[in-house]
Structure formats: C-alpha cells, structure tokens
Amino acid sequence: MHLITVDRVGKLTTYEGGLRVPCIAYGPGVIKAGATSGVVAHAMDWYPTLASLAGITIPEGVILDGRDLSSLLIGESEGIPAFDQAISLNAEIPLRREYHPVREWENVFTREEYLNAFFYHGSHGELAAVRSGKWKLSLSPDLKLFDLEKDPGERVPVNNGEIKSRLRGMIVQFQNEMHHIE
C-alpha cells in the first residue's frame, strides 16, 4: 500500500490524495472480518451493495451508476467481479445503462472498462480527470497521464499514446452520455 500525500494543493482536487478516503465496513456475521482491500469505490456503489446485503433486488426499471460490492465485503471475491460473472444479487445494475459508444471510439475500450472507470469533476463542476484501473488522465490544464501503481503521488506523467487515447475515448463517451441525460 502506498502513502499518498496531499502536500501540493490539499483536498478538493482530482489528485489521489485529494480524493481517496478510507472506508471501514463492519457487519458481524455478514462482512468478512479482518479483510482489507485496495479496491477503488465511490459513494454510488453503496446503493446496490447495501440492497444486496439486505437481500433486496433493485427493480428492473431502476438504473444506478453504482456497482454491487457485496461479494467483496462478504469475502466471496478479492475484487469486483466482472459483470458477466454476476455473483451478487445486484451485480448487473450498471449494465442497465444504455451504451452507444461514439463510432470512432467503439473498438478502443470495452463496455466493462467504461462502466468501471471513474470520472472526476473539479471544484467548479467541470470534468477534470478519468481513471481506469491503474491509469488516470488529468485534463487540466493539459492532458497528463499517470500510472497510479508506480506513481500514486501523480508527479511524473507517462507518455503512452494508446492508453491516453483509450481514456480520451472514455471521456468523449461520458460527455456524450451526460449530454443525452440532460
């Protein structure tokens, strides 16, 4: 595990040190005791996760952005299983979202990669970064790609055109999807 510092600008930034918050989950007889994980999750993941832990199936017409983390919490998996593995009650929730990739990007990333990506908004509400797995592309003030496994402090940008293009495609897809929702 890496220590991520917030020495540059503090909280409320899209740097990992400004975003990451530890989570402690406690549920005797439900949540696996003593387990730790470095899985990246967000607040929206709690809706399908808590519903699954309570044995509640989210109705078909409801579309949520969150992923069901219950299999991770109860110790059935060490990460978040792929959607096609669907080992938890509400694992397929994000798949209910429409997915129509912009034509030029349709073969650059998969639906699962897109649904598992994190899109960060800056303090003024604008899209500021996207994270997919160990990669993060910061948009402001210019495009900077970081390998968060090797550089969790986001100090040394990586020059990888293929990864940068994949993440840019996800940004285009996300902005297109958000435009259609409004």
Pairing label, strands 144-147, 135-138: antiparallel
Of 3.30.1120.10, 3.40.30.10, 3.40.50.300, 3.90.550.10, which CATH number belongs to 103-181?
3.30.1120.10
Q: What share of the chain is helix, strand, coil (3-state, %, to 5)?
A: 30, 10, 60
> Residue 144 pairs with which residues in a beta bridge?
138
Identify whether the C-beta of residue 176 lies closer than 8 Å to the C-beta of residue 132: no
Tens place of pLDDT per residue across the chain (182 aa) = 444 444 455 566 777 776 777 888 898 988 888 888 888 888 889 999 999 999 999 998 888 888 899 999 999 888 887 777 778 888 888 777 778 887 888 888 988 888 888 888 877 778 899 999 999 999 977 899 999 999 988 999 999 999 999 999 999 988 888 776 54
Question: What are the tokens at 29?
Answer: 């007889």
Identify whether the C-beta of residue 151 lies closer than 8 Å to the C-beta of residue 17: no
Write out the E strands in 37-170: 118-121, 127-132, 135-138, 144-147
Rounded Cα distance, 155 and 138, in Å = 12
Q: Where are the domains of the chain?
A: 103-181
pTM above the 0.85 mark? no
Q: Which residues contact 131 (CB under 8 A, 6 or more apart)?
A: 40, 117, 118, 120, 137, 148
Instruction: Order the strands of the 135-138 sheet from edge to edge.
Output: 118-121, 127-132, 135-138, 144-147
